[in-house]
Amino acid sequence: MQVFSNMVFTSTHQYYVQSGDDQYAWEEAFRRQRNGILGGALPGRLTIASGVHTGYVHLSVALVNAPPLLTAEWEDVVEVSFRPVMDGLIVADGETDEMHELSLPVDDYRVRLSVRGMDDGEALITLEQPSEEVVEFHELTFWRALPADDEVSRQGSQFARRQHTWAQTLS
């Protein structure tokens, strides 16, 4: 079931989905992970990388009962385990006052980030108005699951390849 579909502002190649207090720690979000585009190492916080440096990406969020099929439309697909620290989530960029609230009960989840257009977003650099043509699309899918290591299911963009390599250097 889709619970959110809208433009999200990214700042310095990043935005966040979080419950509880705001915690900024870019490197800490990816420490001990194989993937470098969906940081899930901080409690109650997901840090998401975008190719677009500053501007808008399209984000869809879905809550499902089981892992979804891996479809060909997505260039990059990664998964992490996640547990909110309180009911509800906020999608925030950390730069503007624009925040979106999502309903999600406290439980253990697996989260899949599926992305297309990261290299196009990086080449574009900025997309200052949400009405401009969006080139980067993200989908976050949550389902209940026991905690497990993060996973890179598909890596198609050069941007994601560089991010994964970087994340694997963090100890």
| pTM of the predicted protein model | 0.93
The residue written with tokens 């998964």 in the block is 79
* Ramachandran quadrant class, 90 (left: phi over 0; alpha: psi -120 to 50; beta: rest): beta
Lowest-pLDDT choice from 26-30, 40-44, 100-104, 133-137: 100-104
- Distance CA(60)–CA(168), nearest Å, equals 27
What are the structural domains, with CATH classification, of the chain? 2-167 (2.60.34.30)
pLDDT tens-digit map of 25-71: 889 999 999 999 999 999 999 999 999 998 889 999 999 999 999 99
pLDDT tens-digit map of 18-28: 887 766 788 99
Burial of 90 (0-12, 13-18, 19+ CB in 10 A): middle
